[in-house]
């Protein structure tokens, strides 16, 4: 049933946007006689959880029936905002335990915006409960979690879209079509990816009492229970390997995923990495402040580096990818792209698309931090693609398997840095070839009473 009635001209303006829409066959949501609204739930009502949900509300007929968060204050704020923004004006039911939310509500879609260490268990439980899932990246904190997530999505026949929305970023879709797919780069045999943002929190807050509005035990879940030293979910958690995979897991996953999409790449043949805490040695943070990684493919090297100090290599592209071809070079970021041809050819520039006039609430949205205005159009297109896949029972552009490859490649890079050895992962046997110690590292230990998901038993 064709439930979406498109008006492309009204949905999004410009050549870049038209290419973005046609890339998906996505259908805009200026609806006439809309169907019964999708019943939606959100687990994790922090910054990006709310941002994803509000972008979905903008483009689809949905009824947000339930919200879940371990922070009662954050949960109440999200409930108020959602009631103001959704068409019905209703306030969703509120939960502190996502399993209770799943048990008491039948939801077509659940969005997961929790910290990384919760993604696997929550996604698997959601598809088991009959919901399609939009889960933020990186999808997991270890490789076997990712394998189990893919297995669960396939077993329960649910669409799972990963929040690697660079694949839905209009100017990147345009650059892929006009530069990469058109062959303007020629043979590509070297890729560089980088992040030079000063994004590594590294304070020394004292251990303190857990506030009564926060369920810290539930927040911690299967991860190790660190002494409480302030609200972890206000970006503090990302500075600890207990909950995520450092800057490589957080930022390289986006750029590697984009490069893989542009160049049609699968699993790397071999991954090596070196780095550590070289400069910012004070503070509690245990993630690397400096790291390089090499993802090897046939006749192609993809190199990543990050440093959370100093100045960027290219101030115009502090978080970016660069495709080096025999006929030219393509620089790309969330904000722009630049094609530089070999010789005297024409340079081509691509700019980010904003939709402030069509969606003025993007500018006035009362969240902290503020919405990423450059990412809003991409997230809306990502949601449209997700809904299109649900309707067609097809794979979305950022299917869980693609998210797994990109996420686990970054995890394997961290493993290579830790062991000092190259990682050659066999996704069929689910082992690191010739390295029993590294194979054991593919699944982290879970805190009792939580049980690590098994891809063979989901």
> For 259-302, what is each residue's pLDDT tens digit?
999 999 999 999 999 999 999 999 999 999 999 999 999 999 99
Query: Please, what are the domains in the chain?
Result: 8-167+370-400 (3.40.50.720), 171-204+216-358+404-440 (3.30.360.10)
Per-chain mean pLDDT for the chain? 93
Of the pLDDT bands very low, low, confident and very high (cuts 50, 70, 90), residue 29 is very low
Full 3-state SS string of the chain: CCCCCCCHHHHCCHHHHHHHHHHHCCCCCCCCCCCCCEEEEEECCCHHHHHHHHHHHHHCCEEEEEEECCEHHHHHHHHHHHHHHCCCCCCCEEECCHHHHHHHCCCCEEEECCCHHHHHHHHHHHHHCCCEEEECCCCCCCHHHHHHHHHHHHHCCCCEEECCHHHHCHHHHHHHHHHHCCCCCCCEEEEEEEECCCCCCCCCCCCCCCCCCECHHHHHCCCCCCCCCCCCCCCCHHHCCCCCCHHHHHHHHHHHHHHHHHHCCCCCCEEEEEEECCCCCCCCCCCCCEEEEEEEECCEEEEEEEECCCCCCCCCCCEEEEEEECCEEEEEECCEEEEEECCCCCCEEEECCCCCCCCCHHHHCCCCCCCCCCCHHHHHHHHHHHHHHHHHCCCCCCEHHHHHHHHHHHHHHHHHHHHCCCECEECCCCEECCCHHHHHCCCCCCCCCCCCCCCCCC
pLDDT (tens digit, 9 = 90+) per residue, 137-195? Answer: 999 999 999 999 999 999 999 999 999 999 999 999 999 999 999 999 999 999 999 99
Whether the pTM exceeds 0.75: the reply is: yes
């Amino acid at each position: 049933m064709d439930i979406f009635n498109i008006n492309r001209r009204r949905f999004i303006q410009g050549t870049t946007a038209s290419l973005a829409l046609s890339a998906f066959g996505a259908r805009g949501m200026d609806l006439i006689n809309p169907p019964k609204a999708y019943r939606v739930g959100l687990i994790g009502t922090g910054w990006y959880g709310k941002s994803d949900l509000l972008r979905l509300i903008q483009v689809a007929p949905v009824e947000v029936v339930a919200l879940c968060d371990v922070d009662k204050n954050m949960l109440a704020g999200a409930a108020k905002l959602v009631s103001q923004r959704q068409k019905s004006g209703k306030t969703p039911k509120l939960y502190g335990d996502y399993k209770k939310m799943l048990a008491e509500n039948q939801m077509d879609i659940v969005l997961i915006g929790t910290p990384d260490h919760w993604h696997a268990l929550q996604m698997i439980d959601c598809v088991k409960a009959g919901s399609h899932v939009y889960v933020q990246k990186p999808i997991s904190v270890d490789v076997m979690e990712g394998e189990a997530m893919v297995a669960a999505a396939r077993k329960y026949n649910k669409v799972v879209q990963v929040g690697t929305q660079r694949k839905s970023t209009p100017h990147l879709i345009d650059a892929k079509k006009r530069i990469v797919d058109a062959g303007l780069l020629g043979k590509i045999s070297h890729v560089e990816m980088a992040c030079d943002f000063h994004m590594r929190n590294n304070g020394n807050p004292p251990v303190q009492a857990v506030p009564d509005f926060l369920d810290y035990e539930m927040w911690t879940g299967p991860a190790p229970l660190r002494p409480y030293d302030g609200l972890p979910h206000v970006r503090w958690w990302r500075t600890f390997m207990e909950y995520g995979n450092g800057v490589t897991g957080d930022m390289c996953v986006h750029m590697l995923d984009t490069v893989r999409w542009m160049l049609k790449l699968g699993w790397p043949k071999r991954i090596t990495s070196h780095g550590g805490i070289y400069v910012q040695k004070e503070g509690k943070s245990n993630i690397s402040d400096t790291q390089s990684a090499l993802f090897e493919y046939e006749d192609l090297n993809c190199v990543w580096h990050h440093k959370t100090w100093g100045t960027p290599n290219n101030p115009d592209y502090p978080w970016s990818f660069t495709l080096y071809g025999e006929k030219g070079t393509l620089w790309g970021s969330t904000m722009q792209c630049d094609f530089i041809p070999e010789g005297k050819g024409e340079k081509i520039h691509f700019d980010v698309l904003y939709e402030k006039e069509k969606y003025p609430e993007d500018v006035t949205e009362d969240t902290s931090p503020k919405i990423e205005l450059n990412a809003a159009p991409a997230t809306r297109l990502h949601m449209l693609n997700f809904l299109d896949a649900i309707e067609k029972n097809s794979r979305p552009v950022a299917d869980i398997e693609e998210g797994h490859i990109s996420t686990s490649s970054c995890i394997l890079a961290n493993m290579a840095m830790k062991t000092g050895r190259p990682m050659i992962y066999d996704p069929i046997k689910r082992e690191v070839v010739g390295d029993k110690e590294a194979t054991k590292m593919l699944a982290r230990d879970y805190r009792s009473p939580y049980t690590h998901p098994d891809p063979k038993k989901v």
